[in-house]
Amino acid sequence: MSEHTPTPWEVQDYSESDDGVGIIGLRTNDGAPYSSPTNGLVAWATLHPTEMDENDPTRAQANAAFIVKAVNNHERMVEALKRIAAHDGGYAGDIARDALTDLIRPGTT
């Protein structure tokens, strides 16, 4: 299986002509910048005609920003969860460790 596009990712501005928002990776797998934003396109956030706010691009922009924020913070969140799970904090620590163990098990991140 291929690895995901390296982070950081970035949100482009809403494109009215394309009815959506591009989510782009800024770097190639070897760390070099892409030659143009479209070379790094990894996803497209758009609004479907069935949505209540179909004529409001802020929903697509907000969804794209939320995806990018999650992707760009994934590694730090996994590391924080590992530190929490490894902490011996008594009963509360045991509950947190047990709850987080499944989330950080290899192959699930």
> Domain map of the chain by residue range?
9-104
Within 8 A by CB and 6+ apart from 25, the residues are: 5, 6, 7, 8, 9, 34, 40, 42
pLDDT reported for residue 82: 76
pLDDT reported for residue 55: 66
The residue-averaged pLDDT of 68-85 equals 83
pLDDT reported for residue 28: 78
Q: 7-16, 22-31, 96-105: which has the highest mean pLDDT?
A: 7-16
pLDDT reported for residue 108: 46
Report the first-to-last Cα separation within the chain, whole angstroms.
14
pLDDT exceeds 50 at position 84: yes
The residue-averaged pLDDT of 61-85 equals 85
